[in-house]
Amino acid sequence: MTKDRYQQGLDKLMELTTPDSNNPTGHMDIGEGFKDIAPDLSKFVVEFAFGDIYARPGLDNKQKVLTTISALVAQGTPQIEMHVKTGLTVGLTPEEMVGCIMHLIPYVGFPRALNALKAAQKVFEENGVTVNS
């Protein structure tokens, strides 16, 4: 039943984010801000992106976050920040996430990597996290 997929998505989301008073899905954007123009968007995000795909066996959460971050670095889309925050939630260390971005330099070039480091740095600062070198 659809409800099971939706619940599966919510359950997975709760492993990736912490709800707060403002937002039941914490820092994770599930498209609720677009309810006025695309009311079915968040349903697709929760059911498919999280319920079907993110909850899929094969990789653990930390591997999944690294996978997502890598693709976003290659794309240059602004969602990098959100997923670095997710990384912190699932237990990726800042060193692992910086290591992921640095590792991408030979594949995506320095500009995309530096743009990603800027996003990561912002998330670390906002969350009082430092990197051990």
**Binding flag, residue 28, its own copies (CB under 8 A):** no
Beta strands of the chain (E only): which ranges? Answer: none
**Binding flag, residue 67, its own copies (CB under 8 A):** yes
Rounded to whole angstroms, how far apart are CA atoms 74 and 126?
24
Rounded to whole angstroms, how far apart are CA atoms 121 and 130?
9
- 81 to 110: interface string for its own copies, x by CB under 8 A: -------------xxx-xxxxxxxxxxxxx
Asked whether the beta carbons of 71 and 116 are under 8 A apart, the reply is no
Within 107-126, the residues that bind its own copies by CB under 8 A are 107-112, 114-115, 117-118, 120-121, 124
CB of 21 to its own copies, least distance (A): 23
| Of 7-15, 18-26, 54-62: span binding its own copies (CB under 8 A) | 54-62
Asked whether the beta carbons of 51 and 93 are under 8 A apart, the reply is no
